Amino acid sequence: MAARVVRLAVVWPLLTCAQAPALVPSETLWQMLPTMHQALCSFSSGLCAEDGCPWRADWAAAAEDALGARVRHQPAALHLVLDALRLHYGEGGASQRAARAKPLVFSFHGPTGVGKSLLHEVLARALYERADARGRAAGALVIGAVGYRNAALALEYEEELRARINQHVRRCARPLIVVEELQLMPPSALRVLVPMLSRPTDSSAPDYSNATFVLTSNLGGEAVIARAYAAPSREQLDLDALQDELLATVDIAAGSTALSAAVDVIVPFLPFGRAELGAEARAMLAQLRADVAPAFAQGAGLEWDAGAGPLLLDKLAWEGDHEQAERQLARYGLQTLATKFNMLVSGPVRRHVDATLRRACGEGGASGRLATSVCVVVVHADSADGARGGDGGSGGLARLAVVDCATSMTLDAASVAALRGGWWMHVGPPAAEPPRCARGEASGT
């Protein structure tokens, strides 16, 4: 998909910032700003020194591989970003940049947690040869947008914003500058950015033409969700119409067309549907199985009923949302999914595995392994004989239980009552035979 040059405006959904204190000493103002990240380019450490923060020789291939592996379920966004970078910085790019005399400007849009911040973070690590001990790319500067009601603080922020960006541009040959949560910037701060993103009118200003700017915000997020709902599929979404609608939100936020006129590529990030979140849930289950594998001997491990995965996805992503069941979309992204998974799935499973290992091998059996498997099964809380049923079984209110695989699936009344009280049964009913301990055997896989 070719990069699309536009002259309107764009934005995307993110988080909110707390209001800064009324009085802040000027020397600590920048440090106290509620930024999404600290500046990734550490000027005091020499990461951006005389070498100009060089890009990798194979930056295009490295960026394509890294983004393809880490930023999932956003093929259109990846195509837009990679095509624009190749066009701007590829063969013949120097003459093109000289003719354009302006930086490459992206504007990312979409709901929270669908890969916007992840994309620019992975991109930075793929582009630059050097990074610090934390893996932060040498040539990337990430700034959190913020608006102050106090005029003096707002002016200091704007001056520091200009100084930070200009310093970074002078020290890095191909700088990457990210402004997170653009919707929080007041018009006065946006007016600081516009000359940097546009064709130069001041010959004494730094040369921004070799820079890449990424602007992120949550403006237009509802438009992305609404169009994703309306489209028959993600592949059939009218991307051009969505980009035009997102651009208009920038004009409204900025109060003029100056900012939108500087944007080169609008990059929508679509919300995840059932298929995408289902794939992520399956990946989390597979990772959990691998994480607890050291507790098991060869031939044993964590097992799942066929019906556990769909029930898990219903709980994690769709609970309480029955509108348009065939095309449901999550109102949150992977971070929320991962948080719920850790609380509702990973924690109960790990606790059960640990308790079963202690029961089998004793409190001091750290070197032991479970020779019997642990199962996550679907049971039904509407009767005292809720049988395991991967296809939904006997109906009623389905719940997941973590049990020993040797457990009889006929639950007593107390077990059924426990299932009615919560989604998980942390420790299953008594096993038909005690879990067996194996010592000195290799762990399962």
- Give pTM, 2 decimals: 0.73
324, burial (CB in 10 Å: exposed 0-12, middle 13-18, buried 19+): exposed
pLDDT tens series, the chain, 445 aa: 444 433 333 333 332 233 333 333 333 333 333 333 333 333 333 345 446 788 999 999 999 999 999 998 999 999 999 999 999 998 665 656 566 689 999 999 988 888 999 999 999 999 998 877 677 788 999 998 887 777 888 888 889 999 999 999 988 989 999 999 888 888 888 889 999 999 887 777 788 999 999 999 888 888 898 888 888 888 899 999 999 999 998 888 887 888 899 999 999 999 887 778 878 888 888 899 999 999 999 889 998 877 777 777 777 765 544 445 444 555 667 777 788 888 878 888 898 888 888 888 887 656 789 998 888 877 765 544 444 444 444 445 667 777 777 665 555 666 666 655 555 544 444 555 678 888 766 665 5
Sign of the alpha-carbon dihedral angle for 122, 123, 126, 130: negative
Helices (H) and strands (E) in the chain, counts: 15, 11
Sequence-separated contacts (24+) of 32-38 with Cβ below 8 Å: 33/144, 33/146, 33/157, 34/144, 34/146, 35/142, 35/143, 35/144, 35/146, 35/180, 36/117, 36/142, 36/144, 36/180, 36/181, 37/142, 37/144, 37/180, 38/142
Across-strand partners of 401? 377, 425
All structural domains of the chain with their residue ranges: 26-268, 274-439
Q: Has domain 26-268 been given CATH number 3.40.50.300?
A: yes
Print burial letters for 330-350: b (CB count within 10 Å at least 16), e (below 16). bebbbeebeebbeebbbebbb
- How distant, in Å, are the alpha carbons of 232, 272, 348, 409 from that of 355? 47, 36, 11, 20
The three-state secondary structure class of 313 is helix
- Residue of 277, 346, 287 whose CA lies nearest to 317: 277
- Residue of 99, 261, 110 whose CA lies nearest to 193: 261
What DSSP designation does 205 have? Answer: S
Q: What DSSP letter does each residue of 322-389 carry, written as one string?
A: -TTGGG-B-SS-HHHHHHHHIIIIIHHHHHHHHHHHHHHH-TT-TTEEESS-EEEEEEETTSTT----
